[in-house]
Amino acid sequence: MKHFLLLLCLTVPTIYGSFNVSQICEVLSNGVKFQDPSNCSQWYDCTDGVASQPSSCVNGTYFDKHNQTCVSQSEATCNQDLCTIQTNGFIADPTSCSTYFYCSNGKSNRGVCAKDYNFNPIQQVCSSPLAYECTNNTLDYEQLCLLIPDNIFIADTDDCQGWYTCKKNIPSKGQCPPGYLFDATTAFCNFTDNVNCGNRSTTSITTVQTPKPAGECSTPGTYISDNKTCNGFYYCYDDGNNGSMLLFGECNDEYFFDAAKGGCANRTQVDCTYNRCVGDVQWVSVAHSECKAYHKCANNYTGYCGEDYPYFDENTQQCIKTKIDYPSCV
């Protein structure tokens, strides 16, 4: 099967020529505004899963996702480039099966496959539809986090009990407690009879209790550690009945929960003494070892780097010469 790439090395300021507005509003609660990824001055408003017509800022101002209003360009956070997520390499265009972006040092170059060919993000080549079928209907939560405020709950398109939330453009996944489903229009967990899942799957609904934190959460709107794992956390929010509800979530593989900052951070930047063998990782650094000791997750083996390469770098999974001082291992 023939594969080939056609690169157009023209740096473009935006990544979207068009995008699926309806798909985004299906996972956002009522009243949430999100930035138009093709225009820093425009935004959309979601109501009952339906997007409004685009609204525009005036007098040269930009829409700021955090303030949810128009501000001066110097104050605005306007994310228009997928290379914010991945600084180098190929990324599929989420709005088109035939286009892609090549990232070089955080800058994007748009490429277009030949007619009737799809970009295959797995093999990173242009392939015929027989070799790679592109449906172009998968919502990318890392991309969505570039457009919406932090701490906004987003419905999981694959799981009616699941949700995502963003912290500094990083998505974290969680689930409602047993007996509850996530209501996308209100961004709350509700009784199963009160939630319309639409196309969201209910096959993965859990009936197992999630671990409980050591102490109660007294301040709605805050995140706390689960006090058992490096990547587990709880979000405390007002349940609307003068009480609070704790929602369990987990940081993605490359991140651990930082209790001091109340969010997910790069795992090497978090001092966690719980089991660090979380996610798709083979070797982890040992806490408080001056970054010289490593632990092999597969067989529970702990060792030290040699004199020539004395420091273990968990990011690169190898011993190196250069001294490092990651908070995870100093």
Rounded Cα distance, 69 and 62, in Å:
8
Rounded Cα distance, 45 and 36, in Å:
10
Which pLDDT value is given to residue 240?
A: 63
Residues 6+ apart with CB under 8 A from 109: 7, 8, 9, 10, 11, 12, 101, 102, 103
Looking at residue 103, its amino acid is C
Sequence spans of domains, the chain: 1-149, 150-267, 283-320
pLDDT in tens, 27-43: 888 888 988 876 788 88
Residues belonging to the chain: 330
pTM passes above 0.95: no
Residue 116, pLDDT > 80, answer yes
Q: Which two tokens stand for residue 313?
A: 């770098």
Of 246, 64, 251, 31, the residue nearest 152 (C-alpha): 31
Rounded Cα distance, 147 and 16, in Å:
12
pLDDT in tens, 271-284: 998 999 887 788 89
pLDDT in tens, 152-211: 888 998 888 888 988 877 888 888 876 778 888 888 777 777 788 887 877 654 433 344
pLDDT in tens, 65-101: 888 899 998 888 776 556 665 667 887 776 678 888 7
Backbone angles phi, psi at 221, to 5 degrees: 90, 10
Mean residue pLDDT across the chain: 78
